[in-house]
Amino acid sequence: MTTEITAIEVTSGARRLAADLKSACEAGKKIVPFSALRCQRLPFATKENVVFLNLEDHRQILEHSIEDQVILVETGVSLAALDEYLGRTRQWLPLSFGLPSDTLLEAIVTGDGGALSYGFGGPRHLVLGLTLALSNGNLIRSGGRVVKNVTGYDLTRLMIGSYGIFAVPVAAYLRLYARPERFLSFAVADNDPLRLLACQRSLAHLGLPLVCAELIDQRLLGQTKDGFLLLVRFAGNQALIEAASPLVRDICKAHSHSVTPIDEPEKETEIWSSLTKVERTEAAYPLELTINRQGFARLWQQEKALFDWPFSYGTGTGLAKFIHSDLGEPEKMVDKLSAFAKRNAEDLTVAYSDSQCLRRVKRLGLDFNQQEQLFERLKKQYDPSNCLNPFVCLANV
């Protein structure tokens, strides 16, 4: 198969967007790279000087090298539309998207690749290069269209997960994969999350293409009873996946009496969509906690009260999301986590929203003054007027 779309220079639309950013910043506006709907529960969303960035007119496929498995696309494209396009060439961008409206821009600025980050590393590993619009109206590029093209500091990875505080990604080179012939998922249920983590560890030792392993509190799926699910997903060659299915089922049954295959793509999509919807309701205030498996096990054993709030835990990324129903609850949880970190000599990172911030990041038990100083220097260099998402705060505890 030959390349269908050839290279196009950065469009005039990107230049217009950069110029619009400059005008908005000069007018004292604050630019947030999310939809107003996503931020509607936060107090600052009603301020007149806040502008929520809408890139729905910036969703072109600019270049697609099918042979090299690389694509250049504007970041306003929805992940669902991009997946549909790539399906025509049997290629795949392994990012989980909960809602059809989720955009590539949101995946890049949050750094969240969803459940598939377990197998593919999320945006930090899939984004090869970026075209960035600065608040002064300039466009810059970082990275490129090949994997190994960076010498010195990797600016692209710094921008991923930065919540748009330095610049706005307007186009991205993405690494693609061949679309798997077969997907197979299992939901393993148990009342002890540590047994489910042991199940995941056994599955990982098989050496099969395990692309997703997410631990989920069943309350997030609308269940009223206590209990947890380990959702595992395999993807690859059809013959291999079908041959391995009985073995996977036996391993899951050795850890739990309840093992349910999910062989319908629509059912699996429904599960991930329901999780996303829970996180984004008006009454939901997520707290993200980065903690390794051993630390998570200690937290479960020592601080059971923290798990009164429903949560999910990515076994590969170490990212736990606790869903609170009150804006003040995450701050209370931080105090308890800080005490836990000091008691166990743990290095933890938490991120949450409060009445002033879209995202407040705190390091517990870890000194990151040098990183904070680096961020401050880059902020002054790229966005001296502080108009690009000033609702993000870094702090030490």
Helices (H), 88-134: 104-110, 117-120, 123-126
Q: Is the pTM of this model over 0.85?
A: yes
Mean pLDDT, range 141-153, rounded to an integer: 64
pLDDT at 366: 65
Q: Is the predicted pLDDT of residue 58 greater than 50, yes or no?
A: yes
Mean pLDDT, range 135-155, rounded to an integer: 74
User: Does residue 349 contact residue 361 with C-beta atoms inside 8 Å?
Assistant: yes
Q: Which residues of 2-21 are buried (b: 16+ CB within 10 A; e: fewer)?
A: eeebeeeebbebbeebbeeb
Find the farthest-apart pair of alpha carbons in the chain and give their distance in angstroms, rounded.
63
Integer Cα distance of 256 and 170 in angstroms: 46
pLDDT at 10: 54
Q: Is the predicted pLDDT of residue 293 greater than 90, yes or no?
A: yes
Tokens 């707290």, residue? 287
pLDDT at 1: 36
pLDDT at 5: 40
pLDDT in tens, 179-201: 999 888 899 999 999 999 999 99
Residue 7's pLDDT band (cuts 50, 70, 90): very low
CA 383 to chain CA centroid, nearest Å: 24
Phi, psi torsion values for 94, nearest 5 degrees: -75, 75
Q: Which of 67-81, 261-275, 335-349 has the lowest mean pLDDT?
A: 261-275
Q: Is the predicted pLDDT of residue 368 greater than 80, yes or no?
A: no
- Residue type at position 3: T
Mean pLDDT, range 43-51, rounded to an integer: 86
Q: Is the predicted pLDDT of residue 153 greater than 60, yes or no?
A: no
pLDDT at 224: 66
Q: Is the predicted pLDDT of residue 267 greater than 50, yes or no?
A: yes
Q: Which of 67-81, 89-103, 236-250 has the lowest mean pLDDT?
A: 89-103
Helices (H), the chain: 12-26, 79-87, 104-110, 117-120, 123-126, 155-159, 193-204, 238-255, 265-279, 293-302, 329-344, 369-382
Integer Cα distance of 113 and 288 in angstroms: 14
Q: Is the predicted pLDDT of residue 202 greater than 70, yes or no?
A: yes
Q: Is the predicted pLDDT of residue 367 greater than 70, yes or no?
A: no
User: Does residue 309 contact residue 324 with C-beta atoms inside 8 Å?
Assistant: yes
Local structure of 32: helix, strand or coil: strand
Mean pLDDT, range 195-224, rounded to an integer: 91
Residue 273's pLDDT band (cuts 50, 70, 90): confident
Residue 108's pLDDT band (cuts 50, 70, 90): very high
- Rounded to 5°, the CA angle 228-231-233 comes to 170
Integer Cα distance of 275 and 273 in angstroms: 5
Q: Report the percent of the chain where pLDDT is more than 90.
A: 64
Residue 178's pLDDT band (cuts 50, 70, 90): very high
Q: Is the predicted pLDDT of residue 62 greater than 80, yes or no?
A: yes
Q: Which domains does the chain have, with CATH numbers?
A: 12-178 (3.30.465.10), 182-271 (3.30.70.3450), 281-366 (3.30.70)
Provide the mean pLDDT of the chain: 87
Mean pLDDT, range 138-147, rounded to an integer: 82
Local structure of 84: helix, strand or coil: helix
